Amino acid sequence: MDILAIVIGYLLGAIPFGLIVGKNIYGIDLREHGSNNTGATNAFRVLGPKAALFVGIPDMLKGVLAVYFAQLLSADPLIMVIAGIAAICGHNWSMWMKFRGGRGVATSVGVLLMLAPKVVGVVLVVFIILVALTRYVSLGSVTGGILVPFLMWYFDYPLVIKYFGIVVAIFIVLRHRANIKRLLNGTENKVKPGNAKRK
């Protein structure tokens, strides 16, 4: 059951919604513009807010569905966590894009919605405040990611989910290494919507 959960989680996570939306609706390959990844933030930057929703919501649902199907296979929280990690890995390193992808934030949020919804609520508020004040999405994402394990312990989730919180934080920080460096150097780009037209 755990192998099936991993396979389903990865395949769900690997669906490249950013690539699909960009190329089929707007005629633009997000891998060739902006930050060159297929996540919702780059979709927002290159294509605009509607495109970001078309990418971000499905990316989040990948995490939700990965955990949901794992629940159908097993009541073991560890299986659900493993499936969630597989979905995040699928998003970050999609087999359909030569093992490239996004930063994994939206898919991580979807997994957390299923495993630790209280944490998502707090992190979302922090993210919105930081982005509204600074217009640095990366700052909001990294700060939210770092907060996750601490909030897991505060709300006293099961131990395996607490450890998952640590994994999420590590994933998000590692995937934002370049952004963190630019933030420290004062060269990070502030987010603003793109205006690409549909083809």
What is the pLDDT confidence band of residue 196, given thresholds at 50, 70 and 90? low
| Average of per-residue pLDDT across 41-70 | 93
According to DSSP, the residues that pair with 94 across neighbouring strands are: 100
| Average of per-residue pLDDT across 53-76 | 95
The whole-number pLDDT of residue 37 equals 85
Interior CA angle at 107 toward 170 and 165, to 5°?
35
Residues 116-151 have pLDDT tens digits of: 999 999 999 999 999 999 989 999 999 999 999 999
The whole-number pLDDT of residue 199 equals 53
Write the secondary structure of the chain as one string of H (helix), E (strand) and C (coil).
CHHHHHHHHHHHHHCCHHHHHHHHHCCCCHHHCCCCCCCHHHHHHHHCHHHHHHHHHHHHHHHHHHHHHHHHHCCCHHHHHHHHHHHHHHHHCEHHHCCECCCCHHHHHHHHHHHCHHHHHHHHHHHHHHHHHHCCHHHHHHHHHHHHHHHHHHCCCCHHHHHHHHHHHHHHHHHCHHHHHHHHHCCCCCCCCCCCCCC
Query: In the predicted model, is pLDDT for residue 3 greater than 70?
Result: yes
The whole-number pLDDT of residue 85 equals 95
| Average of per-residue pLDDT across 47-62 | 94
Identity of residue 168: V
Compute the mean pLDDT over every residue in the chain, rounded to the nearest whole number.
91
Residues 6+ apart with CB under 8 A from 91: 13, 14, 59, 62, 101, 102, 104, 106, 107
The whole-number pLDDT of residue 75 equals 85
| Average of per-residue pLDDT across 155-172 | 94
The whole-number pLDDT of residue 27 equals 92
